[in-house]
Structure 1
Amino acid sequence: METATKSRAPHLSDTQRLAWLRLIRSENVGPRTFRELFNHFGSAQAALDALPELSRRGGKKSYRLFSKDKAEAELAALYKIGARLIALGEPAYPPLLRHIDAPPPLLAVRARDPLQQELTGTQKTLAIIGARNCSAAGAKFATQLAGELSAQGFTIISGLARGIDSAAHHAALSSGTIAAFAGGIDTVYPKENLELFTGMVAANGAAISEMPISWQPRARDFPRRNRLISGMSLGVILIEAAEKSGSLHTARYALEQNREILAVPGSPLDPRSVGANKLIQQGAALVQSVDDVLDIMEPKISMSLPLHQGIEEPTINWPKLDCQDTNSPSPPLNANQQDRQAVIDALSETPIDQDELLRFTGVSLQTLQLILLEIELAGRLERHKPNKLSMIHTGTT
């Protein structure tokens, strides 16, 4: 009965997966733009066909589509190392991650059995993160906490970094642990953790990444990685987080995603504890033992998704069970030049709320969304939280 239920769950066809990959890898297309394009045109392939013209109308003379050959080569390289791409809406896609703002349309997953869905599909997940240059006491507590939480059935998620991340992964090996990568799924960073990662995969652990295979992580890629760590988790536990550390960035994502934030207090004389201590002052749950974590997290486990109304539920019209994309794009397919110019004139380098832009220009919502897509694909639009937009003057005509 269980097998039959899983077999009826939606899956992309090979053709669809290729089109999704080409779309998310094309120029100026990110997770949010992917969703807007998909919803407007009804399928990834239809959106791909429209991209060059949309970009031209937005003010860009030439547009770089991600080629079919490159997409096929990426898929082949993934399969060669035992990885695969999971689409948002498929059963193995992390359920909590689906409910963050602009979730990745495709995730590369690497595990001993790439078809195994239980690990990445679980909702009983906790992130443990902290200082790379952690103290011996910090590493010891991370090891103890991760081991005890694993014994209670939690899947531990972290970033495979040195220090606290590594200690947490090591302690959770036996029950399965997940690492989020800032680079490609084949790019273990730091390299000194290659043996740890190999052990994770051998012990039914997994790694996830939204970046292209063989992508070398840059500084700006780690915040994207951090939002995956918090997004996959019911809560984030910080151990030794300095005042301006990446761990605090993860905590901020957790706050935006309505996840629990828990912190282990440290000595006020240790700069590695300043960030965690301040989080406790600001309302984060203080953690001194596994019982503290269980008391806070147990009520969350049974909560239905989404966790609260503020978390954005993706509105993509996902493929039906026969995996056929809809061929009924939402009108309009074009906007008149008067409306387009009105929107461009209203935008400036000063961010403006989208609703205010809508009222000021007087265009319809669908027309505004289409014009914004044109400008964004041309590389001239910047989006700001929570729902603001500004124009980037690139000099391109």
Structure 2
Amino acid sequence: HLPGGGAVQPLAPGEWSRLSTWLSAQGLKASDLLVGDPKHTLSTFQDKAVTLERVLPLLDRGFQVGLLLEKWQRAGLWVITRSSAAYPKLLQDRLGDQSPPIFYGAGDRRKLDTNALAVVGSRNAAEADLHFARQLGHAAAQQGWSIVSGGARGVDEASMRGAIEAGGTVIGVVADSLLKTTTSHKYRDAILRSDIVLLSPFHPESGFSGPNAMSRNKYVYCLSRAAVVVCSDTGKGGTWAGATEDLKKKWVPVWVKHQADARSGNRALVERGALVLPDADPHALRMEELERGSLTAHELFAGQAADVHEPTVPYQKPASEAPPTSNGTTTVRSEADELEAVLKALTTPMTDKALAKHLGMTTERINKLLEHLIHLHKVEPPVGRMKSYKLAEPDLFS
């Protein structure tokens, strides 16, 4: 869709595929429609949905499209079509003529055909699920796999952040506002470092659309070799829709994180054919075995028993994730040590008084440290009736 495009509807993937196939059979390319007389060229093309009344107005917008392409290229976006060698082969093989005719994107296009694990889940996931997703991203990166996800708040971002922290790469399938997203501070540096490639089949300046957000799910799965659903609602939401579509189409194996709640969408997905990950540390998982999709717990792990809880490669937690000492106190010698101790303790939100008791410091001293950390954007100002402090959420790839 173009701004001011009126009622002219762009061709859907299946419609474009029929037109493209017909052109190929005539020894023509799509670009041939932009020269000569397209009405004459298409005079023998018969399709109830793809009519001359639809195609000709779309071709007339060529000049406007050219201006937009120039604008997007200046902003660092690229455009690939189904006929391009850079088009993701894995996705095209799986979706066939339902593959998007065009992908817009930013970043290193070569990463689109790397081995990738899809990680999906709720925007409002529990802390334990976010931690699991982050570790899963870390584990995939350590084994040379990329993470592919939708880039949404919650599980998507957590898994992508974990991959970047471990020196890996991520693929983000964007449902709206690609141009704004790629030029934002949140992603720009990561794109320039080739840590991330973003792509979208939708107009780079389009706003949010529920149908687009739902249809984006299939591209996340079809760019991967296996998928993990960290948490899902039952019968609603994009996570559920994407997982059930994959289970029906059988693009890739779908694994789910074990959830104790009997009402969990993950349990309902298992009833529809999803596989349950053994309850163990994600760092012990072998990506190639997730891809195979039908394994015993022993096979899933790198020569370890199913109840293993130590990672294959020891995971060094960032300071903001490290737990407090076993006796609940920290020996403090300098202000730097004090600030670090506060950050470690705030893995769980606390009031100033609770924090002072936990660290064996005065409330007055704690408040001074908190004020300093708020100024540094490391801690968020207190909110809620209890006036609890918590760690500030960092930029995704800062």
The reply to whether TM is greater than 0.5 is yes
Alignment length, in residue pairs? 265
Query: Higher Cα Rg: structure 1 or 2?
Result: 2
| Residue correspondence of structure 1 range 1-397 to structure 2 within 5 A | 27-42=9-24, 43-46=29-32, 49-50=38-39, 62-63=53-54, 64-66=57-59, 67-101=61-95, 102-111=98-107, 116-122=108-114, 124-173=115-164, 174-188=167-181, 194-204=184-194, 205-243=196-234, 244-255=236-247, 256-268=249-261, 274-287=264-277, 288=279, 289-290=281-282, 291-292=284-285, 294=287, 296-297=289-290, 299=292
Q: 1:69 to 1:134 in 2, by over 3 A?
A: same
Question: Which AA in structure 1 matches 2:102?
Answer: L
Q: Please tell me whether the aligned partners of residues 41 and 47 of structure 1 are also in contact (alpha carbons under 8 angstroms).
A: no
| 2:246 aligned counterpart, secondary structure | helix
Q: 1:104 to 1:61 in 2, by over 3 A?
A: closer
Q: Please tell me whether the aligned partners of residues 252 and 291 of structure 2 are also in contact (alpha carbons under 8 angstroms).
A: no
Shift of 1:294: 2.9
Shift of 1:133: 0.4
CA distance in structure 2 between the aligned counterparts of 1:92 and 1:41, rounded to whole angstroms = 21
CA distance in structure 2 between the aligned counterparts of 1:154 and 1:240, rounded to whole angstroms = 21
Question: Which AA in structure 2 matches 1:207?
Answer: L
Gaps spanning 5+ residues in structure 2: where? Answer: 1-6, 294-398
Shift of 1:28: 4.6
Question: Which AA in structure 2 matches 1:275?
Answer: G
CA distance in structure 2 between the aligned counterparts of 1:229 and 1:261, rounded to whole angstroms = 12
* Structural RMSD (CA): 2.9
Q: Please tell me whether the aligned partners of residues 139 and 285 of structure 2 are also in contact (alpha carbons under 8 angstroms).
A: no
Q: 1:257 to 1:45 in 2, by over 3 A?
A: farther
Q: Please tell me whether the aligned partners of residues 222 and 251 of structure 2 are also in contact (alpha carbons under 8 angstroms).
A: no
Question: Which AA in structure 2 matches 1:100?
Answer: R
Q: Deviations over 1:191-247 (max 9, x none)?
A: 9xx544235314311100011121112111112211111111111110111111211
Q: 1:202 to 1:172 in 2, by over 3 A?
A: farther
CA distance in structure 1 between the aligned counterparts of 2:161 and 2:253, rounded to whole angstroms = 23
Shift of 1:179: 0.7
Q: 1:35 to 1:58 in 2, by over 3 A?
A: closer
CA distance in structure 1 between the aligned counterparts of 2:200 and 2:127, rounded to whole angstroms = 30
Gaps spanning 5+ residues in structure 1: where? Answer: 1-24, 301-397
Q: Please tell me whether the aligned partners of residues 262 and 284 of structure 1 are also in contact (alpha carbons under 8 angstroms).
A: yes
| 2:19 aligned counterpart, secondary structure | helix
CA distance in structure 2 between the aligned counterparts of 1:283 and 1:56, rounded to whole angstroms = 38
Shift of 1:186: 0.9
Give the equivalent residue in structure 2 for 1:373. none
TM-score, scaled to structure 2: 0.60
CA distance in structure 2 between the aligned counterparts of 1:280 and 1:35, rounded to whole angstroms = 35
| 1:96 aligned counterpart, secondary structure | helix
Q: 1:283 to 1:183 in 2, by over 3 A?
A: same
CA distance in structure 1 between the aligned counterparts of 2:30 and 2:205, rounded to whole angstroms = 24
Q: Deviations over 1:121-145 (max 9, x none)?
A: 32x1111010100111010000011
Question: Which AA in structure 2 matches 1:78?
Answer: W
Structure number with higher relative contact order (C-alpha < 8 Å, ≥ 6 residues apart):
1
Q: Deviations over 1:137-195 (max 9, x none)?
A: 01000001110111101110111111101101111123110110111421439x9xx54
CA distance in structure 2 between the aligned counterparts of 1:58 and 1:32, rounded to whole angstroms = 10
Give the equivalent residue in structure 1 for 2:339. none
Q: Please tell me whether the aligned partners of residues 225 and 291 of structure 2 are also in contact (alpha carbons under 8 angstroms).
A: no
TM-score, scaled to structure 1: 0.60
CA distance in structure 2 between the aligned counterparts of 1:139 and 1:29, rounded to whole angstroms = 39
Give the equivalent residue in structure 2 for 1:383. none
